């Protein structure tokens, strides 16, 4: 989907035209933003019928839907050009168009700042929208445009406040009630001899004022709001180094939301990664490497897991080497800590670790079976299955059809040889003693994993051979290789099929026989790159820049309805659960 937002904005609040087939739109629906036609269209699901269409101005690019589905917001960056660190050289202001979420009637259009950072914040009740305008720093001050945080009262379709920023905003968040915004300006070298420290600014968006500025040491990253809303956390990676004499551990900056002052800086290990929120326990986790040591043992040093509560993290919990990903078990009692070549389990809430598994090879993707008994590792075309009870590797297989691999290799060899002969002949004709030609090679295989909801099978896609390998979820052995390549796999158990969408087709795989089924769509012009399954798993919405396809399996066998559009910039799903 395109996210370019270069549009002409009319500087007034206007009502757009709306036409539709009914005043009360059925649900669920998918909202489609067509940048070429400058429209928002509501498609009924699963019929695909267009129930409402609203006309827009400019060249809108982004859709936001309020949590209660009462309103739809359409963002427009404004006409201009990117100017790198100098901002956005805008000709017109950015804007937001506010529509009724049921009828798509345009309730107002509000001018924002100059340019638009991808940092929009919508309050939990959907009544306040805050955005950051990049502004533009020109050589001549008279040609500069201000950096601003602009807050809109969505209900009245009016600007609530404009707050000018003295420095570039590198990260931004607002509290759930939409009353306070926090803007980070990262550490920067303003000139050869001048370094500006990182700064946090607290903004009262209702009053339109900066209420506090907090300087921060080091180079902290984006702020994260604590689950209880009492603190802000900012992670500084430090300067990680495998040499213990040169390593500088990362730090966690803690800032109080109540006092708007720094509470402290705490050590979080070498090369800390991310701040991961566990929604169930309302805790934040940080992964890092263990302390570096000299010698070969450094490569296998364990990683560390810390839990962030209040102003200080818990003592580190030892996990596997080079931890990267965190996932929780389906029952929420276990935390899976996965690295590129390690796996560990940590029980919740007591944080008791089990001895980690270490692999000789690394994985691009690791997944755990729904019952927590199997670990699946995918690295290119190589797929491994591990028993998490015994720690043993059960199977090691290769995805992709061998015949297809051989054919692709033969085609690449023939193309290379043809190019070489043509280059040699051309050199002889021109009397040259040298020649150059293209060497055609196969793209390395890349894949993704999808686990059936019942855990009985794993689907591993292979980009090189454009197929899916179906693997037994218990033994790790291959059940079937299916000629159905795509960018994801969606399971529809009610129809006993898996959907495999690609850029131009939607294919099916029978869940019982593991054979390729009838295609839902072929040679489609959708340029699909996004897919979403309904909460009940009976409807799928597949979209791309060229259009939207709705796959309906409510009556058993899936069928599809494709709706073409000029240029789909964004889609927003309304499954009807919160209307």
Sign, CA torsion 10/12/13/16: negative
CA distances from 424 to 418, 428, 429, 439 (A): 10, 6, 9, 14
Each residue's pLDDT tens digit, 55-64? 999 989 999 9
Over residues 202-230, the mean pLDDT reads 94
Cα–Cα distance, 369 to 434 (Å, whole number): 57
Q: 536-575: buried (b, 16+ CB within 10 Å) or exposed (e) per residue?
A: eebbbbbbbbbbbbbbbbeeeebbbbbbebebbbbbbebb
Mean pLDDT to the nearest integer, 386-397:
92
Give bridge partners of residue 378 from the DSSP assignment.
365, 383
- What is the C-alpha to C-alpha distance for residues 382 and 307, in angstroms, rounded to an integer? 34
Nearest-CA neighbor of 3 among 574, 568, 488?
568
* Integer CA distances (angstroms), 100 to 21, 136, 157, 383, in order: 16, 33, 12, 49
Average pLDDT over residues 4-29: 39
Q: Pull the structure tokens for residue 121.
A: 């914040």
Q: Is the pLDDT of residue 5 over 80?
A: no
Peptide bond into 349 cis (omega under 30): yes
Confidence of residue 556 (pLDDT cuts 50, 70, 90): confident
pLDDT at 45 > cutoff 70: yes
Band of pLDDT at residue 235, cut at 50, 70 and 90: very high
Question: Could you tell me the pTM of the whole model?
Answer: 0.84
**Could you report the per-residue pLDDT of 408-437, keeping only the tens digit for each?**
444 545 455 565 566 667 766 766 666 564
CA angle 575, 64, 133 (to 5 degrees): 170
Number of C-beta neighbours around residue 508 at 10 A: 24
pLDDT in tens, 507-523: 999 999 999 999 998 87
First to last CA, the chain: 26
- Cα separation, 300 vs 320, in Å, equals 9
Element (H, E) at 278: strand 270-278
Here the contacts of 470-475 (C-beta below 8 Å, separation 24 or greater) are 470/509, 470/514, 471/376, 471/383, 471/385, 471/397, 473/369, 473/374, 474/374, 475/385, 475/394, 475/395
């Amino acid at each position: 989907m395109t996210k370019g937002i270069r549009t002409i904005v009319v500087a007034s609040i206007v009502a757009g035209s709306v036409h539709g087939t009914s005043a009360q739109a059925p649900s669920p629906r998918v909202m489609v933003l067509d940048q070429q036609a400058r429209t928002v269209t509501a498609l009924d699901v699963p019929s695909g019928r267009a129930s409402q269409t609203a006309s827009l101005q400019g060249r809108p690019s982004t859709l936001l839907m309020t949590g209660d589905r009462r309103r739809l917001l359409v963002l427009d960056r404004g006409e201009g050009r990117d100017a790198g660190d100098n901002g956005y050289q805008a000709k017109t202001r950015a804007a937001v168009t506010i529509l009724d979420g049921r009828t798509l009637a345009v309730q107002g259009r509000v001018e924002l700042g100059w340019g638009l950072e991808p940092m929009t914040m919508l309050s939990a009740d959907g009544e306040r929208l805050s955005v950051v305008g990049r502004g533009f720093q020109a050589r001549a001050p008279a040609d500069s445009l201000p950096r601003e945080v602009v807050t809109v009262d969505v209900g009245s379709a009016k600007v609530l406040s404009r707050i000018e920023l003295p420095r570039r905003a590198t990260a931004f968040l607002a509290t759930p009630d939409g009353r306070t915004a926090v803007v980070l300006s990262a550490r920067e070298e303003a000139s050869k001899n001048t370094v500006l420290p990182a700064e946090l600014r607290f903004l009262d968006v209702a009053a339109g004022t900066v209420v506090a500025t907090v300087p921060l040491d080091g180079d902290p990253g984006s702020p994260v709001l604590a689950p209880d809303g009492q603190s802000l956390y900012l992670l500084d990676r430090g300067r990680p180094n495998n040499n213990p004499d040169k390593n500088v551990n990362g730090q966690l900056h803690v800032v109080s939301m109540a006092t708007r002052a720094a509470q402290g800086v705490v050590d979080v290990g070498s090369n800390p990664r991310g701040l991961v929120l566990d929604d169930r326990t309302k805790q934040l986790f940080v992964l890092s490497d263990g302390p570096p040591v000299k010698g070969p043992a450094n490569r296998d040093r364990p990683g560390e897991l810390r839990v962030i509560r209040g102003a200080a993290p818990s003592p580190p919990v030892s996990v596997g080497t080079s931890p990267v990903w965190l996932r929780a078990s389906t029952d929420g009692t276990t935390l899976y800590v996965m690295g590129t070549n390690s796996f560990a389990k940590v029980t919740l809430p007591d944080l008791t670790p089990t001895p980690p598994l270490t692999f000789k090879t690394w994985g691009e993707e690791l997944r755990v079976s729904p019952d927590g008994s199997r670990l699946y590792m995918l690295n290119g075309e190589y797929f491994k299955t591990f028993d998490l009870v015994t720690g043993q590797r059960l199977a090691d297989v290769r995805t992709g059809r061998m015949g297809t691999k051989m054919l692709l290799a033969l085609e690449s060899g023939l193309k290379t040889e043809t190019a070489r002969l043509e280059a040699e002949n051309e050199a002889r004709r021109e009397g040259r003693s040298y020649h150059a030609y293209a060497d055609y090679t196969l793209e390395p295989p890349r894949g993704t994993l999808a686990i059936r909801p019942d855990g009985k099978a794993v689907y591993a896609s292979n980009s090189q051979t454009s197929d899916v390998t179906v693997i037994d979820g218990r033994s790790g052995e291959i059940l079937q290789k299916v000629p159905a390549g795509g960018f994801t796999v969606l399971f529809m158990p009610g129809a006993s099929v898996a959907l495999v969408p690609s850029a131009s087709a939607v294919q099916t795989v029978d869940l019982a026989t593991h054979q390729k089924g009838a295609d839902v769509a072929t040679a489609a012009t959708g340029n699909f790159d996004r897919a979403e399954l309904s909460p009940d798993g009976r409807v799928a919405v597949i979209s791309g820049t060229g259009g939207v396809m709705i796959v309906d399996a409510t009556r058993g066998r899936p069928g599809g309805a494709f709706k073409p559009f000029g240029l789909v910039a964004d889609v927003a799903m309304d499954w009807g659960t919160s209307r």
